[in-house]
Amino acid sequence: MRIYRSPHNPLIQTKDIVPSRGDFEVIGVFNAGVTRLGDEVIMLLRVAERPINSNAQKLLTAVYDFVSDEFAIKEFSLDNQDNDYTDPRLIITPRQTYLTSISHLRLARSKDGIYFDIEDKPSILPANKYETFGLEDPRITLIDDTFYISYVGVCPFGITTCLISTQDFTSFHHHGVIFCPDNKDVVLFPEKIEGKYYALHRPASTLFQKQHIWIAESADLYCWGNHRNLMAPRGGYWDENKIGAGAVPLKIEQGWLEIYHGVDKNNIYSLGAVLLDNTEPWKIIARSEQPILQPETDYERLGFFGNVVFSCGLILEDDKLGIYYGAADTSICYAELSLDQIMQNLKPIV
Amino acid sequence: MRIYRSPHNPLIQTKDIVPSRGDFEVIGVFNAGVTRLGDEVIMLLRVAERPINSNAQKLLTAVYDFVSDEFAIKEFSLDNQDNDYTDPRLIITPRQTYLTSISHLRLARSKDGIYFDIEDKPSILPANKYETFGLEDPRITLIDDTFYISYVGVCPFGITTCLISTQDFTSFHHHGVIFCPDNKDVVLFPEKIEGKYYALHRPASTLFQKQHIWIAESADLYCWGNHRNLMAPRGGYWDENKIGAGAVPLKIEQGWLEIYHGVDKNNIYSLGAVLLDNTEPWKIIARSEQPILQPETDYERLGFFGNVVFSCGLILEDDKLGIYYGAADTSICYAELSLDQIMQNLKPIV
């Protein structure tokens, strides 16, 4: 598929971000929630940091201590044979798995959707025991006049999805954990459908080692039930290993359009689309057989975790879909394609 | 602790259960939900079955096919080196994990709480795609005049907890999946606390390999949110490996009393107690340092899965707690102790 990538890519890089502390360095800015506020495009960036480290034999990471409300520096010896450092995102010790970075959310604003003013300080930092390993991958859903931010909270006992609401991106309201461990890639539909709110979510089955997309319903956005299995990875496809919802579902004439990510057997993260029924969103009408965006450029193939394109937000303008996406867990990029292109890419599910 | 075990133990054994089909055998009857209805004690038994098998080289299990509404027999060769049969409950193949048995729920009634009339036929059989590997471990909570049955539904893409309601144990109302994968050991509190329903649940973190007890709240019993981490296994204790709620929480003068199970490092399942705050049940007042019941007798130590005592229900009569429990995943037993005994066993959490 011919997809337009902005010549300004990456739009936002680590060098553009002021670290939250003098002794931290920013190792990634990616997976941003996106919305409009007034005449601006607003992004909530995921900013991943780690302590500055001059010792090549050590690995340092930071953990938020909710009791003292401070960050503690954790030190790991790279010589320690008991620890597994294979995945650049993880430190797996016999007693506990840690993350190699800790993320917070940072506000950025733009008039043209390309050049962003990025705040110097974090907007939302870890604040409780569910966020001691950080906040990740926000999605922003505007419902009436309130923005609902569903984001991943990581802590030693699980990966949860939490909810924050705001009307101005200045004061934020915390609503606690809305999906219990392990659950991520939660997107809230932007309006009630036949009287109920819906969310896509991605729980994990420990026993069966499955990571499918499910759909849940709610009366109030805080409590969720009637969980239904919506879609599974597909053997032999670009999304055969893992899938998860991406941007907030988009209401179009033909139904609800969801841009989701799929991971193939080589651990390559691509984006595709699925079309859900207008009034019964637990029914799939069509799904991409080929990805709409896959890692091709250097900035998508090389980075902290290479071969990743991952979207948490997009902007629709007339027939044009502007996709903001994290590239290689390192930077934020932008691509455009038309709704027509996506619809042609979809294969009806019979 | 001196605990009274019924001399009639096991109260219910596999030989007491008529198989649901002529070609099935019952391999366990255990983990029963318990309640009172009129002047009777009602139990919903978990009945585990497998196809009768005369071939010692094969292992047979049954899977419910929700499309045809029939059971399919799955055959596994014990010679197949690719499969892992180490856990007697599981068949782990490279592509999919299966259970070695499939469970349904069966009604039993008693006037004295010891001799039970057991129905000849299943009361609740697998009925949808979340139950193709069976229904397990029901808990019964009476709220107003309705019995709510939270039970585990197992299927190839996860372990969920589902909800059924009934007023007479004759007609049953299905409310779908209330906790998404993997989540089991869900017990609903029997009344609203300060305007909200609460449930204990036991999600699993795949990444961090943690299985803690969490508490969630709800306005309607169907949708759940504000998930809070309640309690963790304790290193060096009887509950160091895994924990999960057992019986429905009991309102006593001092707070909410929960009988839960803990698994130690030798995979021994015991029962202990935890006392939660009356009006803020996410706060722990006291917890058993020693189990109140642990496998000691032959019927608890030997069986389909030995060294297990596991309760899904109890009956309080004055100061006497009658605990029904599954023994060795094979039979149903009964023990009694006084509330005083339990309270003395509890160690305050400071």
Decide: helix, strand or coil at residue A349: coil
Q: How many CB atoms are closer than 10 A to CB B299?
A: 19
User: Which ipTM score applies to this complex?
Assistant: 0.96
The minimum CA-CA distance between B23 and chain A, rounded to whole Å, is 28
Distances A101 to A29, A51, A136, A154, B296 between C-alpha atoms, Å: 12, 8, 11, 11, 48
Q: Which residue of chain B comes nearest to A90, CA vs CA?
A: B207
* B64-103: burial string, b at 16+ Cβ within 10 Å, e else: beeeeeebeebebeeeeeebeeeeeeebeeeeebbbbbbb
Note the pLDDT tens digit of each residue in B225-252.
Answer: 999 999 999 999 999 999 999 999 999 9
Rounded CA-CA distance B136/B161 in Å is 9
A1 pLDDT higher than 80: no
Q: Which residue of chain B comes nearest to A231, CA vs CA?
A: B157
A160 pLDDT higher than 80: yes
Q: Any idea what the CATH number is for the domain that residue A322 is in?
A: 2.115.10.20
Rounded CA-CA distance B201/B184 in Å is 6
Note the pLDDT tens digit of each residue in A33-47.
Answer: 999 999 999 999 999
Report how far apart the first and last C-alpha atoms of chain A are (Å, whole number).
Answer: 24
Residue B1's pLDDT is what? 73
Residue A2's pLDDT is what? 83
- What integer best gives the mean pLDDT of chain A? 97
Which of A198, A201, A202, A208 is the best substitution to test chain B (most B C-beta atoms within 10 A)?
A: A208
Structure tokens at B211: 């299985």
Residue B184's pLDDT is what? 98
What is the number of structural domains in chain A?
1
Note the pLDDT tens digit of each residue in A212-253.
Answer: 999 999 999 999 999 999 999 999 999 999 999 999 999 999
Distances A237 to A232, A262, B62, B238, B322 between C-alpha atoms, Å: 11, 9, 30, 46, 55
Low-confidence ranges of chain B (pLDDT < 70): none
The answer to whether B165 contacts chain A (CB < 8 Å) is no
Residue A286's pLDDT is what? 98
* B239-259: burial string, b at 16+ Cβ within 10 Å, e else: bbbbbbbbbbbbebeebbbbb
Rounded CA-CA distance A105/A43 in Å is 9
Query: Cβ separation of A220 and B219 shorter than 8 Å?
Result: yes
A136 pLDDT higher than 90: yes
Comparing CA positions, the residue from B231, B204, B209, B214 lying closest to residue B288 is B231
Distances A100 to A31, A90, A207 between C-alpha atoms, Å: 17, 5, 26
Give the structural domain span for A308.
Answer: 4-348
CA B145 to chain centre: 23
Rounded CA-CA distance A22/A19 in Å is 7
Closest CB from B157, B176, B224 relative to A212: B157
Task: Classify residue A134 by its DSSP letter.
Answer: E
- State the pLDDT confidence band at A350, using cuts at 50, 70 and 90: confident
Structure tokens at B277: 């705050």
